[in-house]
Each structure stands twice: as C-alpha cells, then as structure tokens.
Structure 1
Amino acid sequence: MGFDFPNSHTRPYPHLNDARSLPRQCESGVQMSSNLNGDISEVKFLTVAEVASVMRVSKMTVYRLLHSGELPAVRVGRSFRVSESDVNEYLKGSFFQTG
C-alpha cells in the first residue's frame, strides 16, 4: 500500500546517467548539432528558463523536450544550455497547416 519509492541511486532519466551512454561529442565536450557547423564561438546558448520564455511554455515542458531528445542541449554541470539556433529550428519544424 502506498508509493514504491526507488532507491536513492536510481535516476529518473537513466539515459543521462553516464557520459559513455551519450552520443559522440566533439573534443570540447559539446555535442554538435546539425546546424552548428563545427564553430561554437558564435553560438548563443540559452538557459531552460530563457527557452521557456521564448517558446511561451513552462520550464517543465522544455525539460520534457530535452529529455526526449526532441530539443538538443549541452549539459553544463547539472544545468542544460540550448543553442538559440536549435530553438529556432525546433519552432520552425513545429509549424503545421490548419484548415
């Protein structure tokens, strides 16, 4: 009866447990998105709160997009950063025709 809580060592997102399970990264540790073209010096990175503000959704919605892989991100410590161009690409790809 009640909730069955996982052990303290269990992570809610097992695919983010270990860097070895992540896709291949470039030498600087940044996973290259298809629209970064190898030069990250000009990339503007946004926080999850900033992405939520731009998209006009909650931060939890942004986290869901990140964890599902729909929106690529860079992990900095325990935080995520998303390139502004990836946010724009995601929004462009999300439009659909009505009526």
Structure 2
Amino acid sequence: MYLYILFSPSTNKYYTGISPNPGVRTTLHNSHHFKGAYTKIAVDWHIVLTKEFPTRRDAQFIESFIKRMKSKTFIQKIIENPVILDDILSKR
C-alpha cells in the first residue's frame, strides 16, 4: 500500500492519502470522482511524494499521523526527507 502526497499549485495546498495505485487515484481526484472530497477544490493535483508500506495498517497510521499534525511545514519536511516516515513508524 502506498502513502501519497498531492500538491495543487492553484490552491497552494497539500493532500495526503493512501492507495494501492496513487497514479490512478490522482486522476480520480482531478476528475472530482469523490463527491464532497477535499480535493474538489482544484483540478491540478499532482504527486509530490509516494512511499510504499508493507501493510495497509502502516500506511493508514502514517496518513493519520500526517493529518493530525495539520502542518504544511511538516509535509514539506517529509517531502524533502521521506526517511522521517520510517522514524515515525519505528516509534509506534
């Protein structure tokens, strides 16, 4: 399972999610397939980070952790240094 982080230049916002296929999921976000989803605010989402995890549970844990942080700065640090995610997971 993959954790992915999307970025929209038009809104200057990030979105974090999990999927077995982030490329397909990004296309769905940009086509507004998910009604009422946060990503409906833009159509220019693109992947800035993907990281594979051995289990869905691990990917969900990291996704939840990132969303709880509610920090654009934290997301930017993860993009610059994805090893941070391994450290977070190892301390769980």
- Normalised to the residue count of structure 1, the TM-score between the two structures is 0.26
Greater helix proportion: 2
- Which has the bigger relative contact order, CA under 8 A and spacing at least 6? 2
- Normalised to the residue count of structure 2, the TM-score between the two structures is 0.27
Greater strand proportion: 2
